[in-house]
Structure 1
């Protein structure tokens, strides 16, 4: 265990050194104007702007709007993916009915449906949630199908011997066995949800970091633009780290 922890901290230290090296190169190039300070402001200027936005509270409303929009769409996709995955693996009729349609829709980019969603829902949060859920559904669904398909058949035999109902079989046997795969798919879906939240905010002028980035780009306020990008990176990193922690906890308790 100590060797694993030391290797992990060594990897973190190497990553930190690499990031600092990149920032140092960026700072040097910007300071001597080898790159345009208008389009690529120095990291110190960007971080200073980010700190001002944090202290003044201007960054929090769009950040919270993006987080809420991302979580709503991701939660809807996760629930739908688990339910559909369970139905597809447990019912031959459902598999034959849904599989052709799902295989047809799966390769389609979610951004292509934004105009259709705008026609149906208008420039609203419902439109954004629908697009995020559609794009985030597929990793969770595929992971759920994989997880439910690999449940040990003897566990179902034991459940039948104990007289469990279908709901009890799902809650006590199928879901715990497939949870590791589902969480892994949910991590991928969460990253897609964040991307689509930003895209829909830009396309539909919804309040959020996506709209803030677009407005900063249009007014050539590049420090504000990069500050919002850094906030997006922090959101993605923290969300992925939290799910990774949950995944490790699930594996340890198996």
Structure 2
């Protein structure tokens, strides 16, 4: 990283910190001034105390680990299925012709619409939540992979034909590296989707996790615990997205021009 890039990164971090500080200041003012009842909007100090107590000696740490495990398992399964199917569909014009209408039909369906059929098959179990998470998070990876593989330049296909490369060799050595930027972008989006669906699934299926903790806190009017759970969800989203962004930058270093 050059000096200019480092200075730019510091400036952007400072700007983001200033926005965050302004939002927290507005929250502090609204709660302390009584603009909104503390039954619904706790003070930042109360939410922070609930967060610390819940992670230190309360059940919040266990709930967080349960949600993280469910999110990561669904994301990994979705990524594997999305990449495998995307490579197959993207590298075959026949498969794209036959399957594109079905993909366009299924893609807009919200993952929550599959909760009733999933409950009928798996019951109110962790497997039901995992299946819905994997289905909902698979589409960003699948569609990004199809787009990346189908966008391979025609001359590369001609080179592969001239070298008599098999379809598997072409996919692994040419199509997959070409589609890698799209795949990684789809995986970042899928991580966010998997977190959201994990929380919703925990609320619906009464599975241990942050979703259930937030729902129970809301029903009991424990606003500070509710906000502590929401803060944890935001932190998980930021950390996971930042980690994937760093991994993406490292994996795509070969594309960067000197």
TM-score > 0.5, shorter chain as reference:
yes
Q: Residue 72 of structure 1 corresponds to which residue in structure 2?
A: 73
Q: Residue 118 of structure 2 corresponds to which residue in structure 1?
A: 117
Say which is worse superposed, 152-161 or 23-32, in terms of deviation. Answer: 152-161
Q: Residue 30 of structure 1 corresponds to which residue in structure 2?
A: 31
Distance 1:83 1:122 in 2: 28
Q: Residue 203 of structure 2 corresponds to which residue in structure 1?
A: 202
Structure 1 residues 244 and 12 mapped into 2: Cα distance closer, same or farther (>3 Å)?
Answer: same
Q: Residue 60 of structure 1 corresponds to which residue in structure 2?
A: 61
1:240 aligns to 2:241 (yes or no): yes
Distance 1:57 1:170 in 2: 50
Q: Residue 108 of structure 1 corresponds to which residue in structure 2?
A: 109
Q: Residue 184 of structure 1 corresponds to which residue in structure 2?
A: 185
Q: Residue 136 of structure 1 corresponds to which residue in structure 2?
A: 137
TM-score scaled by length of structure 1? 0.94
RMSD: 1.6
Q: Residue 47 of structure 2 corresponds to which residue in structure 1?
A: 46
Q: Residue 91 of structure 2 corresponds to which residue in structure 1?
A: 90
Structure 1 residues 104 and 97 mapped into 2: Cα distance closer, same or farther (>3 Å)?
Answer: same
Q: Residue 147 of structure 1 corresponds to which residue in structure 2?
A: 148
Q: Is the 8 A contact 2:140 2:190 kept in 1?
A: yes
The count of residues paired between Structure 1 and Structure 2 equals 254
Superposed displacement of residue 223, structure 1: 0.7
Residues 13-53 of structure 1 show CA distances to partners (whole Å, capped at 9, x for unaligned) of 11111211221221122122222111100111101110111
Distance 2:91 2:33 in 1: 64
Superposed displacement of residue 161, structure 1: 5.2
The 5 Å alignment of 1:192-231 reads 192-231=193-232
Q: Which runs of 5+ in 2 are unaligned?
A: none
Distance 1:167 1:96 in 2: 20
Superposed displacement of residue 77, structure 1: 1.5
Say which is worse superposed, 204-213 or 22-31, in terms of deviation. Answer: 22-31
Q: Is the 8 A contact 1:87 1:95 kept in 2?
A: no
* Secondary structure, aligned partner of 1:253: helix
Say which is worse superposed, 10-19 or 149-158, in terms of deviation. Answer: 149-158
Say which is worse superposed, 193-202 or 244-253, in terms of deviation. Answer: 244-253
Superposed displacement of residue 89, structure 1: 2.0
Q: Which runs of 5+ in 1 are unaligned?
A: none
TM-score scaled by length of structure 2? 0.92
Q: Is the 8 A contact 2:91 2:171 kept in 1?
A: no
